[in-house]
Amino acid sequence: MTAATDQTPVNAAPSPSDAGRVIIFDTTLRDGEQSPGASMNLEEKLRIARVLEEMGVDVIEAGFPIASNGDFEAVREIGKVVRNSVIAGLSRANRRDIDRAAEALQFAERKRIHTFISTSPLHMKYKLQMEPEKVLQAVWDSVTHARNHVEDVEWSAEDGSRTEHDFLCRCVETAIKAGATTINIPDTVGYGVPEEYGALFTMLINRVPNADKAIFSVHCHNDLGLAVANSLAGVTAGARQIECTINGLGERAGNAALEEIVMALRTRADALPYTTGIQTEQIMTASRLVSAVTGFVVQPNKAIVGKNAFAHESGIHQDGMLKNAQTYEIMTPESVGLNRSTLVMGKHSGRAAFRAKLKDLGYALGDNAIEETFVRFKDLADKKKDVFDEDIIALVDDSIGST
């Protein structure tokens, strides 16, 4: 094995001097689509890719070209229309996959081949049925072959978080020597916990020779609900690329959710001093599009993009919101592309919100009328799960009519 010549990272990082800038690698169209029932057609993938580019995603993983003709076509067509984001195509560690990925990427302005192989004892023994030395050779061969096609090569250690450390170091060292510019350590089965996953990056960055020649990347699955926390732990430990999906779409419990990661970095810049190039105001557009295209409904209490993420029902919270939104909101609805928060009228709502709602609906009632309607509203709210504007209008009209 001999070393590749040019080892400069060539991915989307804006400026090497901006040490806190994190690359956002969106894999909605690849890992996200692997979610059972989430298949998308070409036109849908193109729409999503355009929105991702528009919102400032650095790298769009557009598909796995060897997997099907549809995936090949999607990578090729997205490569034709997207000009700003890097387009990545996935391949296993063999020449056929890599050549197919390179062919699919032929029209892309900025292209990346993403090649992977399993490195954990469990995967090597049962899935690959390969000895570790053979896997190491495959790392070398696949990365050098990919580098013959493109300058931007990402190498991933599948099941990296369950890989024995000495062996993982040898694999990463080999991949960097062979010319990989991004090193991704997936938590493929969502087994990691934040401290341990972060420590894995600290260990690799400290131990692997020439670790500074590549950008380290996190790729976390959500089987224990820790994908975002693990991703952020990896970044704190030195990773500078985050792989994620819109709405956390992905196999089993999904991948780390792009919107949660980006908003955590934006909202808690004091504790997490890292930036992204994402226009967060486009988050709702992307979320709604992915949900509509896949038919995967976003749970109402989902962070950032759930229907209730900026909705308040309890009287105490609504009163606080009317006085100062920061009492119960840590980010503004506008910052994720919503017009405003909603004060949901229900049995927990108080007089302050009721008054505000009446004003909103164009009513100017006296105190007595408000009080009387409020009592009737509470009765109704006890019987009815959702009290709509129409219900309140009917109550007021009824009150006015009876006086």
State the minimum distance, in angstroms, from the CB of residue 228 to Zn ion: 14
Distance CA 248, CA 258 (A): 7
Per-residue binding letters, 27-56, with Zn ion (x by CB under 5 A): ----x-------------------------
Two tokens at 247? Answer: 């709405």
> Could you give the CA distance from residue 120 to residue 134 in angstroms, rounded to a whole number?
13
DSSP string, 214-255: SEEEEEEB-TTS-HHHHHHHHHHTT--EEEEBGGG--STT-B
Residue 201, judged by CB atoms within 10 A of its CB (0-12, 13-18, 19+), counts as buried
**Does position 99 bind ligand KIV by CB under 6 A?**
no
Specify the residue, 91 or 280, whose C-beta has the smaller distance to ligand KIV.
Answer: 91
- Cβ-Cβ contacts under 8 Å for 177 (sequence gap 6 or more): 1, 3, 4, 140, 210
Question: At its nearest, how many Å lie between ligand KIV and the CB of residue 160?
Answer: 7
Q: Which C-beta is closer to Zn ion: that of 61 or that of 173? A: 61
CB-wise, 156 or 174, nearer to ligand KIV? 156
* DSSP states of 249-278: --STT-B-BHHHHHHHHHHTTTTS--B---
- From 9, 25, 31, 65, residue interacting with ligand KIV (rule: CB under 6 A): 31
For every residue of 300-328, DSSP letters joined together read TT-TTTSTTTTEE-SHHHHHHHHH-GGGT
Q: Which is nearer to ligand KIV, 126 or 388 (by Cβ)?
A: 126
User: How many whole angstroms separate alpha carbon 143 and alpha carbon 330?
Assistant: 44
Determine, following the binding rule CB under 6 A, whether residue 91 of this chain makes contact with ligand KIV: no
Coil vs helix vs strand at 50: helix
Choice from 186, 198, 248, 254 touching ligand KIV (CB under 6 A): 186
- Kindly list the distances between the CA atom of residue 36 and the CA atoms of 32, 103, 223, 373, in Å, as whole numbers in the listed order: 9, 27, 15, 49
# residues contacting ligand KIV (CB under 6 A):
8
Determine the Cα–Cα distance for residues 170 and 4; give it in Å rounded to an integer. 16
Nearer to ligand KIV, 204 or 309 (CB): 204
Say if residues 11 and 23 touch (Cβ distance below 8 Å): yes
The answer to whether residue 26 forms part of the interface with ligand KIV (CB under 6 A) is: no
Measured from the CB atom, is 26 or 31 closer to ligand KIV?
A: 31
Cβ closer to Zn ion: 31 or 141?
A: 31
Angle at 211 between CA 75 and CA 28, to 5 degrees: 25
Q: Of Zn ion, ligand KIV, none, which one sits near residue 354, judging by CB under 5 to 8 A according to partner kind?
A: none
Residue 116 binds to ligand KIV (criterion: CB under 6 A): yes
CA distance 317 to 148: 59
The CB-of-238 to Zn ion minimum distance in angstroms stands at: 21
Q: How far is the CB of 225 from Zn ion (least distance, A)?
A: 16
Task: Check residue 11 for interaction with ligand KIV (CB under 6 A).
Answer: no
Interface residues for ligand KIV in 358-387 (CB under 6 A)?
A: none
Judged by CB, which is closer to ligand KIV: 179, or 250? 250
Binding flag, residue 100, ligand KIV (CB under 6 A)? no
Provide DSSP, 156-176: EEETGGGS-HHHHHHHHHHHH
Residue 116 near which of Zn ion, ligand KIV, none (CB within 5-8 Å, type-dependent): ligand KIV
Residue from 120, 156, 247, 280 binding ligand KIV (CB under 6 A)? 156
Q: Which two tokens stand for residue 272?
A: 């997490």
Q: Does 188 bind ligand KIV (CB under 6 A)?
A: yes
Residue 156 interacting partner from Zn ion, ligand KIV, none (CB closer than 5 to 8 Å by kind): ligand KIV
By beta-carbon proximity to ligand KIV, the closer residue of 260 and 319 is 260
Rounded to the nearest whole angstrom, what is the least distance from the CB of residue 273 to ligand KIV in the complex?
27
In the complex, the residues that contact Zn ion under the rule CB under 5 A are 31
In the complex, the residues that contact ligand KIV under the rule CB under 6 A are 31, 116, 156, 158, 186, 188, 219, 221
